[in-house]
Structure 1
C-alpha cells in the first residue's frame, strides 16, 4: 500500500493496485501515478505521442533534469519501443521524492506537467503525420520545443 498515493488521492478503489492511480485531466490528458516499493518516490507519467523510430535511439532512451520550480523533483523525457513498430513512444516522467512531496502543491505539479504535455502535443502536431516530430519545422515547433524544455514554469 502506498502511503503517498493514499494521502493524495484517498484509498485505492477495489481492484486497483494500491501503488498505482490513473487520472484524466479536464483537457483529456491521461496521468498515471505510481509509487515505488519503498514508497520513497512518486512518479507521474503521461505520453503525448509517438516518434518515428528512425529518428530516435532504437532502445529506451531518457534525458533527466532537476525541475527548476519544484524542489526534490526530477523530470525526464523518455522514448521507448512502441507496440506498433516503426514507432517509439514518447513519455514525460516526473519523479518526486517523498520527503519533498507536499499535498498543497499537487495541483501546481499537475498543472505544470499538463503544460509540458500540451507543449509536446503541439510540437508533435507541427510535424504532422500522426505525431511525427521533424527538425526545423519552423518557429511554432521550435517555440513548443523550448516551452517543453523550460522547466521553470515560464513560457519562452
Structure 2
C-alpha cells in the first residue's frame, strides 16, 4: 500500500489535512485507489464542510492489463452519491480505447468511447491521448 497525505496551514497557523490518496496493491498490480478531499477554509472567514471521496476498483484480463475500473463515491457531501461509473479498456494493436458507462436512475446504460490513446509512430514509448469528450474525469 502507498499512502499520500497533503496538509495545509490555515490562517491560524494550524496544520490541517486536505487530501488523502491511497493505492492498495495485490501482488504487483493496483487493486484499489482511494481518494479523499476535504475543502479547507484557510482564511477562517467562511465555514467549509465539503468532502469528496472516490474509490476505484481495478480488474485485469489474462494479460495482466487493466480490463475495467469501477468508480464509486460522493461529491462535496456524503448524500451526493456519484452514480457508479465503469471504465472499460479495449486494446487494439498498440491503441488503447477507454469506454465509460455511468449508471443513472431512470436512464438506459449507454457506454461511450471516452478516450483513445495511440502510440506515436516515431517514439516507441510515447502515447498520445485523443478525445472528443469535454467531460471531466478524475483518473489516477
TM-score normalized by structure 2?
A: 0.30
Where is the strand percentage greater, Structure 1 or Structure 2?
Answer: 2
Who wins on radius of gyration, i.e. which is larger? 2
Higher RCO (C-alpha 8 Å, min separation 6): 1
TM-score (norm 1): 0.28
Kindly indicate which of the two structures has a greater share of residues assigned to helix: 1
